Structure formats: structure tokens, C-alpha cells
Homo-oligomer: A and B are copies of this chain.
Amino acid sequence: MSQQRHGSTPGAADGVPAFPDLPEATIARLPEYLRALHHLAETGAETVSSEGLAAAAGVNSAKLRKDLSHLGSYGTRGVGYDVALLVDQIEYILGLDKNRAVCLVGVGNLGHALAGYAGFASRGFRVVALFDADPKKVGEQINGLTVQHTDDLERVAAEESIAIGVIATPPGTAQAVADALVAAGVTSILNFAPGVLSVPSNVDVRKVDLAIELQILSFHEHRKASLTALPGGRSAQPASGDQEVVGS
């Protein structure tokens, strides 16, 4: 990405600390580390070893150390990582100290559940606006918020300086909603509608497709079935309390 200028160390040289460009794989794991750290903090732990945190986050300890080393984190050799310090570091890197404003478009079955989800607020996000195109939904109160009409999206998004939008509308309207979000200044989109969105290159999109998740599991079921068919009988070895997560 950004070629290195004047090989200085990434410390906070001046007012704005240099932003390290972490590997994508690393930043995808930071949230899991953060969750594990919060859990540890609640149990009163002051420090964690890489081994301990890795176990809590379900990863290899070497991987965890390398990940943390990327963000210049300061652990103490022989002791481990300071839990509170690491929480602050990761929250800063992820930009969670801003308590980011999020809007949700499409208040149907899924949208209702999302609008009432406490897990967003507790992990750094404020759902500040709900939108729907159906006049019957507009005006409805959900979790202290009033559903507004999609026509007001652009105005409200600007007023509340919303940078993240969630799409929970039917697949056919997802692209139009994405366009409206982009026009309203949103630069990050979380999309629950199946299908591919087309957006400007400065906008980030992440997709959650439950059917795809199930289909990947189905593949592994198929594979497991076709393996137990041929070799020695069905060896369902419980293999101790180990953890198995398929894919990434």
C-alpha cells in the first residue's frame, strides 16, 4: 500500500501517530482478541501470556504474538501483556474510541432483530437511525428509535455524520439502497442481502450471507460422508476437547 517514507520507527513522532498498515488477516483477528481481553478483564486478570490469550481467542500463540507485534504493542518479556493497555491499543487501532454512528436500512424480520441487538452498543457502535421504504413501517418505534423514510436518508446521514450503513432489505433493492447510502456519504457498508454490490472504490463493503455459510458446512458434510463410505468404518473420534473451525 503506502511505501515507507524516511525509515523512522512507527512511534508517535508528532501529534498524529503514524498509522501502521496491518495485514488484512491480522485486522480480522483483532476484534476476537479484543473480545477475549474484555472477558479476561472482567475476571480480574491484569496480565495475560500470549499462550493464554491465544487459547481464549482460539488461535495459535505464535500467530497472536506476530499479530500484536505488528501494531507495535508493548508486552513484557517474562510476564505477558497488560490487559488494560492492550484493550486500549486495539480499540484505538480499530477506531472504536469514536463510538461510531451506524444506520440500518430495512426494518423487516432481520432488521428488527438487528435494531434491538445490544451487542452493537457494547462493542463500540451506536445505532442512530432506522430507515424503511414501507410507509406502514415509518413511524414505528424500535428500541427507542423511530423508523424514518428512506427519502430522509441523505439528510439524516449528514446531520448525524454517519459513516457506516447496514443493509437488511430484499436482494432486489440492495443495490439501490447501497447507491443511496453512498450518495449520503456513507463509506462503509455491511450487507445482509445476497448478491454482489457495486460501489465506488473508496467505499468498503462486507457481506454476510447465511445461506453461503450453511452451504460451506454442507460441503464438509458431503465430504465427511463420502470419506466414511470408503475407508475403515465410521471413526467418530471425539479427539479430546479440541476446537475446530472450518474456513476463515
Query: Which listed segment binds B: A62-70, A133-141, A152-160, A214-222?
Result: A214-222
Residues of chain B contacted by A116 (CB below 8 angstroms)? 109
Contact of A200 among B19, B223, B238 (CB under 8 A): B238
**Per-position 1/0 for A112-125, Cβ under 8 A of B:** 11101101100111
Contacts of A205 in B (CB 8 A): 243-246
Which residues in window 154-206 of A have CB below 8 A to B? 163-164, 187-190, 194-206
Q: Cβ of A206: which chain B residues have Cβ within 8 Å of it? A: 213, 216-217, 245-247
Q: List 17 A-B contacts (CB under 8 A).
A: A27-B216, A31-B216, A58-B196, A94-B219, A109-B112, A117-B210, A120-B214, A163-B221, A189-B217, A190-B217, A198-B242, A200-B237, A202-B238, A204-B220, A206-B216, A206-B247, A248-B248
Nearest 6 A-B pairs (CB), nearest first?
Answer: A95-B222, A58-B196, A188-B217, A201-B239, A31-B212, A123-B211
